[in-house]
Structure 1
């Protein structure tokens, strides 16, 4: 169903341009009615298992160290968890975007993590206006950035692979899936990828009782519904805390 919606969106943009240019009189996609999709049990279970807990990440990082997995991909994975940034935002970070003395960075541009060769170094505007933002860096995030600077291969991009090229979606996806599966085991209800780390960060903010508006600003969401959908899948820790509070109620 997502593929169908995406194709309709592409066609809508194409025909909308044709309409504005007076090539056609009206946009034919306006009359397309998509059937309502019904969530399956598998869809719901996938959605509920998108996150990665701190304990699970610790297990994965321990595995990466013991198995001598690629240090750059390992640190990028940890950085995604700690900041909630999108992969293309991390990939587009320039040294000039950093203000480590004040523990923050500015997200001003992104790269196309699917691009290759020279086009992989092209900078683009972020996803939306809300995606242009400053975010606070905790001490561990700063340590990771400093490691990349101290082991710098490229003098523009902060995060690069061991060949000095901007990070690629395919290699990051493959790495995260591999190490998470090795460390946590196969689970047909979970999709291990870079997005699971962004989801996990938002869940972490919920656990820390960070207000929804502050979360929106940190992760660059424009619609509250996007963040609330993730908040709705509260973690086990939050469920346990709720149960503990309920157990203390005396009437």
Structure 2
């Protein structure tokens, strides 16, 4: 286990799964600037570790995944437009690393998932939530606007009509409503959340890493403007899969009626 941001970000690896815990339960895991930096370092460490096949993000305690930004820092760090730009610069590294992360990332959501916390969840590939979770973007109740990348993610997940409802109302929505919007992938009972995520990560941890990366890259590219799609990189990722030892192993395992053992090569 490794701690970042004075213990407010905890990173650990087990059975091919990297887990990052937002550890500020006394503030419902609200994100400070230091926590953004800590998350970025944890993700960087997991990316460099071939033993880590996928990553789970979760919040400490049972009250919140991430309740949003740490509002106690707003007066000092987000008091006006210029301060917001500096805040965006300081937190942008963590946001960019998560948004462009090559390995699968799952958000394990319990409790409040609000504002910037929902932005974190939307930057993950899969979102699984307990039935007692709550979601929302209270921008209209704070007098602020959310950035283009976060709103783009929201619109791609839920469509323009639901995005307007979420942003304009600033209301909280239940896990069932979030599922209906398309904001999350699955809702389970609170006592089943850990086991459900563990079952999924166990599957991802034994699937072919090159295939997971290539397909994630392609899915991401679909949501970009055509001019921003790196089609050469997508083709190269596909070629790497077909030229890999893992592809040969997958074929052999299928013919031999056994489970394949993938190495990421």
Structure with bigger gyration radius: 1
Q: Which has the higher strand share?
A: 2
Flag whether TM exceeds 0.5 (same fold): no
The TM-score range, normalised by the shorter chain, is under 0.3
Relative to the length of structure 1, the TM-score reads: 0.25
Relative to the length of structure 2, the TM-score reads: 0.24
